[in-house]
Amino acid sequence: MEILVVGLNHTTAPIELRERLNVPEADLPKPLEMLGNSPELVERMLVATCNRVEIYGVAEGSVEKAVEAITDCLASHRNVEKALFADKLYTHTAAGAVRHVFRVASSLDSMVVGEPQILGQVKTAYSVARSQEAAGVILTNLMEQAFHVAKRVRSETGIAASAVSVSSAAVELARKIFGDLTGRSVLIIGAGEMAELALRHLLDDGVRSVLVANRSYDRAVTLAREFCGRAVTFEAFRQEMVAADIVISATSAPHLILKKEDVQIIIQQRRHRPIFLIDIADPRDIDAACNEVDNVYLYNIDDLKSVVEANLKERQREAERAELIIEREVGVYLDWLRSLDVVPTIVSLRQRVEDIRGAELQKAITRLGDLTPEQREAITAMSHAMVNKILHQPMTELKRRAALQDGHLYTSVLRRLFGLEERDK
């Protein structure tokens, strides 16, 4: 049997194609059922996100036929011609497949390395496969090992410790200024998408009250309602800054809306309590000279992008550490997988020797004539002891060799020497 991965992702296929082949969570059982009709695939699960569509399977017999069955299933289920995506598919088998699954679960194969969503998506896909009885012993062990690896990567590296988006970088800087953000207040000036995203991150970190100022007051009301906040008129935003700890400005104004002299007045009214200004407008909303005022911390879009770039480099360094963890864990899983081949051989060998022992023991007892129960017990015990001692070394060596690359050769030779193939037919 062979573990395999067949799929495409953001590195091999454009988003238009990924969208056409994507399978919503509610529809996952159908392709699993379709793949169940393929005799080559004894286990299967399907991971489908906006960035990837992948089938993890266990093939028995022809891997090529299993890959063909998977390709046919994707084409048929999503009504997409194979010619449109066949050359975008990648196939991994054996150690390559195990490594790929571990990298996906650990977010090393993601568009943004270290993003946390993919692990939950893999867990969902596995849960669906289990509910459809499509995941057996091998995929179950593979997934449990993958989740263990992902946990190790998260806990033993800093792969997800730093912000890698402009909005999350803004929150990271806010935490450096204020420490705990719980109970802090934020004022949004403008109601653009990036400001809204930064606001969501801040709320996740415990920011308490939200004020929204926008030239279109109706738009301010709509956004404020969405975040259980309060809308204020655009003309009043300077007065509202007196009570705000964090200000995010993202208007489309062609000129500065906040100057150094404005901030000097505001900081005096705040009794010099720190204020964090995030200017993510282009062109800028806030005069760079505001940063010269004590207890005013101003960051613009370029500052935030610099933080993101530095964090991405740090994540890449941490990803290299994560790759080492994955390589070790791939070896652990392959050791377990190879050990599966040796178990039936050990069982067959012991049964073969036990059959011989039982037959010869019976012959010996018959020839010896009348024996006391104690004598019978002693002879039987001796035969068991001899068998155990004779089998101990070859079985120990077979188990040890099973974890090595050439373990299957030893298993094959032993089965031939003892005629176990004929016995198991």
Instruction: Tell me which residue has tokens 């188990």.
Output: 399
β-strand partners of 313? none
Query: Pairing relation of β-strands 275-279 and 2-9?
Result: unpaired
Query: For the chain, how far is it from start to end, CA to CA, in angstroms?
Result: 19
Q: How far apart are CA 246 and CA 286, in angstroms?
A: 14
Q: What is the DSSP string of 49-74?
A: -SSEEEEEEEE-S-HHHHHHHHHHHH
Distances (CA, A) of 86 to 72, 73, 355, 405: 10, 12, 53, 32
Q: How far apart are CA 385 and CA 389, in angstroms?
A: 6
Q: Kindly name the residue from 50, 73, 228, 290 that is annotated as catalytic.
A: 50
| Gyration radius of the chain's alpha carbons | 33
Q: Tell me if 30 sits within 8 A of 129, measured CB to CB.
A: no
The reply to whether 50 belongs to the active site is yes
At 46, which helix (H) or strand (E)?
strand 41-48
Residues designated catalytic? 50
